[in-house]
Amino acid sequence: MINNMISSYRLGDLVLINLNEDEKNELLTEHPDSIGSKYILEQRNNNNSCNNLELITKIVMENIETNLDLLPKNITESTLIHLRLGDVVGGNETHEREKRPFDVNYIKSLLAEDDNPKYVIGKCFFAKPSSKNYEECIQLSNEYLEKVITELQAEHFDSGNADIDLYCAIKSKVFVQGRGYFSKLIVEIRKKLNLINIETAVQA
C-alpha cells in the first residue's frame, strides 16, 4: 500500500525548480506516457530553449480535451481546492514542516462568498526525500482530508493520477491554491489562461 504512495512524479518541481538528469530519466522510465515525460522530451528536442510555462501550458491544452470524460461533469461550474497531503502533514524534515496543511477555518474564510459546488483534489504522496513515518502521515492525512470535506461540504475527486488532477484543476471555474509546487504550477498555468485563482501567501 505504501509503495503506491511513493513516486518519482514531481511535476511542479520539474517545471518550476527543475530536476536533475537522473531524476528526469527516472520519471521518463516510470511515467512514460505522462505530461511530465512529454515535457522533458520536448524540452530536450528544443535544447532547453523553450519557456517552461509556455511549454507545459501547451502540452496540457493539447491533452486535456481527450480526458474530459474522466472529470466531474460540472467541473467548469465548480470550485476546486488542492490539498497537499502525505509527507507534509506529519513529516519531520524542515521542508515538510514548512508546508503543513492550512487550517480548515482558513480555507473556509477564503470561500466565505463562494456558493459553487466544491471538489477537493489531493492524496497521500511521498517522494524519496520524505520522512519515513508513513503510517502517522497517512492517518493524519486521512483525518485532515475528511475534516476539510465535511466542513466545506465538498467532494473528494480521487482520480489516482496527477495528470488527471491537473486537468481537473485547469477546467474548474475557481482554483484554491494549496501547498507545494504542484499547486503553484496549476496557478501559473491558469494565469496564462486568464482563469480565476484564489492564491495563498505561502511558500510553495
H helices present in 46-93, as ranges: 52-64, 87-90
Q: Is residue 204 part of a domain?
A: no
User: Torsions phi, psi of 120, nearest 5?
Assistant: -120, 135
What is the number of structural domains in the chain?
2
The residue out of 66, 84, 116 marking a domain boundary is 66
Q: Is residue 203 part of a domain?
A: no
Question: Across the strands, what pairs with 80?
Answer: 119, 175
pLDDT tens per residue, range 73-132: 999 999 999 999 988 899 988 888 888 989 999 999 999 999 999 999 998 888 877 888
Residues 183 and 138 reside in one and the same domain = yes
- Type and span of the H or E element at 29: helix 21-30
Residues 37 and 126 reside in one and the same domain = no
- Provide the 3-class DSSP secondary structure of residue 85: strand
User: Torsions phi, psi of 133, nearest 5?
Assistant: -80, 60
Q: Which domain, by its residues, includes 23?
A: 2-66
CA of 145: how far to CAs of 16, 18, 36, 100, 139, in Å?
Answer: 26, 29, 26, 13, 10
Instruction: Say how far apart CA 7 and CA 150 lie, in whole Å.
Output: 28
Q: Is residue 36 part of a domain?
A: yes
Q: Is residue 43 part of a domain?
A: yes
CATH number at residue 86: 3.40.50.11350
- Provide the 3-class DSSP secondary structure of residue 55: helix
Residues 55 and 83 reside in one and the same domain = no
pLDDT of residue 10 exceeding 60, the answer is yes
Question: Nine-digit cell at 75?
Answer: 467541473
pLDDT tens per residue, range 11-66: 999 999 989 999 999 999 999 999 999 999 999 998 877 789 999 999 999 999 99
pLDDT given for residue 1 in this prediction: 60
Residues 117 and 57 reside in one and the same domain = no
- Provide the 3-class DSSP secondary structure of residue 5: helix
Residues 55 and 76 reside in one and the same domain = no
Residues 98 and 193 reside in one and the same domain = yes
Residues 136 and 177 reside in one and the same domain = yes
The residue out of 45, 66, 87 marking a domain boundary is 66
pTM: 0.92
